[in-house]
Chains A and B, each alone.
Chain A
Amino acid sequence: MELTRRKMLAIGSGTLAIAALPGLPAFASATDDAIAAFTGGADLVEGGVTINAPEIAENGNTVPIDVSAPGAVSIALFAAGNPVPNVATFTFGPLAASQSAATRIRLAGTQDVIAVAQMADGSFAKASANVKVTIGGCGG
């Protein structure tokens, strides 16, 4: 068995999970901090934004994610389990036909991907999806 990128990723995530138990709250707060920086600390409501992500990543190095939030002026994307949670911020001008975007992101391991949308009225909405990054290997 050779060490491939996927395996390295699995090893990486395992090391992360085992070694970084004390570090997890740090990541969580890094994500909270990043979200607060985007919202200015405003309250987040659920609903109004949808995030579409695979339940299990086919390749953790390039995970397709799409977000949409009708009426949003911008949508920020966060990967709560990555060392740096900020992924992207999409800004929509007044002439944008739709407020949606798609990208691919790298995930260090199983984690929540969070979308926060800023609405035209200045309010913020949030949605999240749990994406699993796995070694795989057994099928029916």
Chain B
Amino acid sequence: MISRRDFLQVGMSAAALLGASGFGTWSRLAAQQALTQDQLLDFDTFGNVSLIHITDIHAQLKPIYFREPSVNIGVGSNRGEVPHVTGAEFRRLYGIDDGSPAHYALSSGDFSALARGYGRMGGLDRVATVINAIRADRPDAILLDGGDTWHGSYTCYQTQAQDMVNVMNALKPDAMTFHWEFTLGSDRVAELVEGLPFAALGQNIFDAEWDEPAELFPPYTFFERGGTKIAVIGQAFPYMPIANPGWMFPEYAFGIRDENMQAMVDEVRAQGAECVVVLSHNGFDVDKKMATVVTGIDVILSGHTHDALPDPVLAGETLIFPSGSNGKFVTRIDLDIRDGRMMGYRSKLIPIFSDVIAPDPEVAALIDAERAPHLDRLTEVIGQTEGLLYRRGNFNGSWDDLICDALLSEREAEIALSPGVRWGPSLIPGQDITREDIWNVTSMSYGEAYRTEMTGDFLKLVLEDVADNIFNPDPYYQQGGDMVRTGGLGYAIDITKPQGSRISNMTHLATGEPIDPGKSYVVAGWASVNEGTEGPQIWDVVENHIRAQGTVAVTPRDDVVVTGL
């Protein structure tokens, strides 16, 4: 008898042979410089159910440049495993030609040159075109939004996410889960969620006082499609009150709660679900572990860690699809569900090349209408950049160095700390820096740039603490961000060491002296999770700094020495 796992593996290798993941196809065609919308959308409709996944849009309504990481270290059992493979190594692994559109979309290396050739990616009007095309093939396809949708831009901040809600509603999602949305504050979240024409899911969103499931966020919903019943279970970001300011949403508690996830899977199966899909904001490695702890999940649509992989990863008996970020990708997954189980799948990670995919006119008009009242402020040019500005990677990117420079000079500090978030589009050499660009890498509801004193001891504690949130070998103890960015402070990190002994050689760069554990240093930073943080907004600090510079030239730095790779 063929076990379910054997069957899935057979399905996967057959898919690889037939090129049914769709990935190989567009890669080859693209190499022939024949990239067209039809080819990007080409898909041989399969089975009886279609899922469409988009996640971590971070309020990017318009096409952007977004450089994927060159440093994305996996630890423990995930060392050397996708998505912890980057650059040329990633391309070899997936058979991607250097210089191809797939190289540009999915991996780092030659980013600036390729960006000039292939142009910006994303744009929700292009995403709308892709969704409409999938719905033309399969009218009842299920559109699922993995969250981090209502955060990350000037207009999203100014409208308290109304712009994103209006545009997303035009795409007609069927369900959504959450992370940064909660930093709007629980009142605003409740107001928006109550008005949503689709399900707001989170099996791990609990009432903090009673430790009971929160009423506003049901754990799951059912869809009857293609003669079968599919359950979609929501999994919000587990570490919201730790990674973000819990005082903004004190009514809620989160956590991974995999025992409750198991109970929900069992419950939906008992109610006749033939296919169980988890719409997750866990982050990839947490999803991978959860798939081996919880049984009975067919598909995890994975968000939070901003990874994009051309093929799903099989963990236990669960297929995991990570669909990137910032509107760069939409994943289409066709499933064959028969006789009470998933018999096969066909999928495609569709890259949203904004110069290739035509914008949907209706959604384009809607986006422009949302932006119109703010357009003068958005488009004001503050300066230019000489080099590539990017953020994504485990340690400082050039955007972070620029932000840290701004904190050091504008706040007259010795040391700067900047959060290791994974959002924030890139700018290519020679580009104007507009106000919108600055907000794209700084916008948040707790952006105050504090100025305080910290001892050398405390700075080490901060670095150790954050490092363990990224490099703890157990994914359940990882929060999915990147290392806190530092300015004016160099250090060495051995990622294989336990918490408390990863960080060494801390150096005050201005003097070249070792950091003195007992001495106090003036530290400027932003995005503190503590209530009552005071200071000017970080976007104003960065704007003032760039305006003073005119043309920004961020020198490459090697202040962080990483070992234990």
Contacts and interface: CB of A to CB of B under 8 A. Distances in A.
Of listed A2, A110, A140, residue having the most chain B CB within 10 A: A140
Contacts of A137: 242-243, 419, 466, 484, 527-529
A17 B462 CA distance: 13
B422 A140 contact: yes
Contacts of A136: 239, 241-243, 465, 469, 479, 529
Interface stretch (B225-233, B253-261, B508-516): B253-261
Nearest to A13: B461
Contact of A138 (B305, B458, B481): B481
B287 interface: no
A50 B468 CA distance: 26
A125 B399 CA distance: 53
A58 B246 contact: yes
Interface residues of A, number: 28
Given A137-B419, A138-B469, A140-B305, A56 B530 contact: no
Contact of A1 (B208, B477, B500, B533): B533
A134 B148 CA distance: 23
Nearest to A137: B529
B458 A14 contact: yes
A2 to B, nearest CB: 5
A139 interface: yes
B180 A139 contact: yes
Contacts of A1: 450, 452, 525, 528, 530, 533
A63 B108 CA distance: 41
B533 A2 contact: yes
A2, A10, A134, A138 pick with most chain B CB within 10 angstroms: A138
A124 B173 CA distance: 52
A134 B531 contact: no
Contacts of A58: 208, 241-242, 246, 253-255
A71 interface: no
Given A17-B500, A59-B241, A136-B479, A2 B530 contact: yes
Query: Chain A interface mostly helix, strand, loop or mixed?
Result: loop
Given A14-B457, A138-B420, A55 B255 contact: yes
Nearest to B475: A55
Q: Which of A1, A14, A59, A102 has the most CB of B within 10 A?
A: A1
A2 B247 CA distance: 14
Contacts of B458: 11, 14
Interface string A7-19: 1001100100110
Contacts of B531: 2, 4
A7, A10, A132, most chain B CB atoms within 10 A: A132
Contacts of A11: 458, 461
Interface in A1-39: 1-2, 4, 6-7, 10-11, 14, 17-18
B61 interface: no
Question: For this complex, into which size category does the number of interface residues on chain B fall?
Answer: 35 or more
B353 interface: no
A136 B239 CA distance: 9
A70 interface: no
Interface centre among A18, A57, A64, A135, by most B CB within 10 Å? A135
A6 B530 CA distance: 8
A17 B529 CA distance: 23
A91 interface: no
Greatest chain A CB density within 10 A among B242, B283, B481 is at B242
A129 B327 CA distance: 39
B480 interface: yes
Contacts of B468: 132, 134
Interface in B453-476: 457-458, 461-462, 465-466, 468-469, 474, 476
B117 to A, nearest CB: 29
Contacts of A47: none
Contacts of A134: 242, 465, 468-469
Nearest to A18: B457
B450 A64 contact: no
A110 B477 CA distance: 11
Contacts of A111: none
A110 B306 CA distance: 28
B538 interface: no
Contacts of B476: 55
A86 interface: no
Given A52-B259, A58-B254, A64-B211, A138 B484 contact: yes
B328 to A, nearest CB: 15
Nearest to A11: B458
B154 interface: no
B37 interface: no
Interface in B417-461: 419-423, 450, 452, 457-458, 461
B311 interface: no
Interface of B: 56, 148, 179-180, 208, 211, 237, 239-244, 246, 253-256, 259, 283, 304-306, 419-423, 450, 452, 457-458, 461-462, 465-466, 468-469, 474, 476-477, 479-482, 484, 499-500, 525, 527-533
Q: Which 7 A-B pairs have the closest CB atoms?
A: A139-B243, A136-B242, A138-B481, A14-B461, A1-B452, A140-B422, A58-B241
14 contacts: A2-B531, A6-B529, A10-B465, A52-B259, A56-B479, A132-B468, A135-B462, A136-B469, A137-B419, A137-B484, A138-B243, A138-B466, A139-B480, A140-B283
Given A64-B253, A139-B237, 10 more contacts: A4-B532, A17-B500, A54-B255, A57-B242, A132-B468, A138-B419, A138-B420, A139-B244, A140-B56, A140-B481
Interface of A: 1-2, 4, 6-7, 10-11, 14, 17-18, 52, 54-59, 64, 102, 110, 132, 134-140
